[in-house]
Amino acid sequence: MEPYRFCPRCGAPLEHLPMSGRYRNVCVQDGCGFVHWDNPLPVLAAVVEYQGQLLLARNALWPEKMFALVTGFMERDETPELGVARELKEETNLDTVSAELIGVYEFMRKNELIIAYHVKAEGEIRLSEELAEYRLVAPEKMKIWNAGTGFAVADFLERRGLPVRFFDRATGEDIPDPRRPTDFSLVGASLQYGINQN
Ligand SMILES: [Zn+2]
């Protein structure tokens, strides 16, 4: 998302100023006080189990052969479980039987946070206009892409003792498992690109 240049509350130009540990776009008009915090937006993602297979979908705007999880933004006043079930219904017409949390994953490239569920679903698949096509893949044949939603698929498969195979979307070649444990020594570095509070 492009940074705001004008205050969405009062229309004054925003200034780039230190605020709570980082530079942020801030409104300095008297009595306004708007701050664009720019925190990541939560996105719901579904590893959909349907008739014993996993459902992958291709967004109408994506290149041929690029399939991924059903995803969507949370709405206000909605729990993540109901949100993921709503997205699945809107995009595929499937009904959710259960939704179990797999994990939470970074998607810094788009300043989003992925909340991934294993969704057991039933019904008849009818795609919305947002989706161009779908695939049903046997879990043991799944190939995983190197991105946040792919890591959710990997964790899902791994916990079931199924093979975890990553591939490069650009070349189609197999690649080593790119998942890494969190390096907590990076906390200090993440503070350094903020500012001194005093
Ligand atoms: Zn303002």
63 and 27 co-located in one domain:
no
Does residue 184 lie within any of the structural domains? no
Residues making up the chain, counted from first to last: 198
pLDDT, the chain, mean: 93
Position 115: which residue type? I
The CB density around residue 188, as the number of other CB atoms within 10 Å, is 8
Say how many Å lie between the CA of residue 73 and the centre of ligand 1. Answer: 27
Range of the domain at 131: 41-175
> From its phi and psi, is residue 110 left (phi > 0), alpha (psi between -120 and 50) or beta?
alpha
- State the CATH number of the domain containing residue 71: 3.90.79.10
pLDDT digits (tens, 9 = 90+) for 158-167: 999 999 999 9
- Are residues 45 and 33 part of one domain? no
**Low-confidence residues of the chain: pLDDT under 70:** 1, 192-198
Distance 22 CA to ligand 1 centre (A): 19
The pLDDT value given to residue 90: 97
Q: Identify whether residues 92 and 118 lie together within a single domain.
A: yes
* pTM tops 0.85: yes
135 within domain boundaries: yes
Residue 20 is predicted with a pLDDT of 85
pLDDT at 197: 46
Residues 22 and 116 in one domain: no
CA–centroid distance, 14 to ligand 1, in Å, is 8
